[in-house]
Structure 1
């Protein structure tokens, strides 16, 4: 199990893993802060559910949208008739039904290359149509048209932009999270972004690609350089997020119009929702149960030791990987090799020492 802590304004990441227990820090110079390289192992990828059960995997589905107006009032309610005319003007098939028969919301069925989307809206007392997660008034014609266009492209789930969980439903997110917990089998160190993507694409279970804007971004030589660190031993999601962060990039899951899930790489400056380098553990889980070595009390003490050596020693003794964000450190013009750290000799835990030193 892994989680993480961040220190020094987000420049240092402590990955929490469960390994052996150590009692005392020994400061040794010139130790690497990267985990040792491990041989990649084959891994199967989980099946990621599409937006709805479907027999067709085609990206270009022909979508037919039908609207059901759920009227709880009298048959022939003039407000329902007004809504019916509005939808007919938008080129949609409309049915007016008893509001007690159907729950408002959007559903879909796929038959071959056809996707049938049904939007059932409950006619409220104020005259608005409530579709479960959204509602519209008769004056919202343009917003309604945009929403209908999204349904035609993306189906019942709508456009993923602005939705929680990157626009995935719970089943899709759980499948993605399961895949991201698998080991990263590709060595990333010294690879360019394009070379890394090619290596990842060779694994058919990982549909990952560069966004068009990323290809333009890479034409700047300042952005097109090899990854400087190794992330062997990390999970796919954490390792890839750390490696891409070293280049100033990130990735996120993207739901396609056909309901499939792909992974897209973008510059961090163009993202607000990259896949995180780590997830906070649940509040009910004590940190010392996740990585007991990191919180093990022992006799600790050193004076005017290089910070890089202190961090390397803590990583070795606690069996907890420490990742330094060299990209941000260089951007802030910090020379990590010149920073010295001291801690008076006393009983303490590695986690407290790291917090104090950085």
Structure 2
């Protein structure tokens, strides 16, 4: 039971905890702690089977507002589910892009035909999605998207996307493309639903500092999408894309923070074991990390509350800045606690400890999902009312 659980939420917490404990045994026992950022290469086939198990039990879409497809749980119960999922060290989700991003966007902006066609596959854990936003010359500045699509009975798409998480296992991609010739910046973009298994799409892995490749380049060379597979009206993709980014900062971030707390606990345990905690400078950094973790949790709860709805456009940027920078500092703290041996790998060719992987992968936290610079521009323009960047 959580410190603020109602009786109903406490009963639900026990239900979730019992189900996870039962299921994360036998064939799925090895999945505990696997997957997630920096570890998406782990147990792909078993995690795909886990997605289907979640779908069979109705644990996908717990927060979708339309109960024809999901559970439409209360906000507090959604928090409970994501906290318990993280606390059980359940595997990183292969289907989170479809569940947390694509489906909420379809429920908000899609047609009834699109909902009926695309949502059930995600709910069953059978259809995986990836996100086609960033580009080599645009990065986090989505208004500079140059991938183009022309409607000629169907959408013909040409361009390149980059840093596309899980594109190598995805069945579909939602692609932000420029569909109005001569348009600039936010105007003339469309949100297209594109099947990945077709001749016009090539996926090339990007090898990261961790030696793994969960991000990809995606080349679209005359790739095809059906004429009706556009979410919202053609040319209004920016509005749809911004709505999706709001969903990205949703209730699942509280589960993310449970994972952060587990990483923090492992680092502090190591500091006690090897004597690093006796160093007053390191001890101060450990305390500061704990304080900031509590601040993140309370900020997330406030952002998700009904009274904070008017703040959502900029509060999401505050949340991203908080967790991305904190997690990067945690990776640095892990290396400081380990000392000089942190620079030595555990074996050949490139066997990393959990702490080394944390340090290397968290260098990207302040870039992916909207860079620090973009988030600060959002805050400056939308919250503080400063002049817009004309560059």
TM-score by length of 1: 0.26
Look at both structures and tell me which one has the larger radius of gyration over its CA atoms.
Answer: 1
- Which structure's residues are more often strand, by fraction? 1
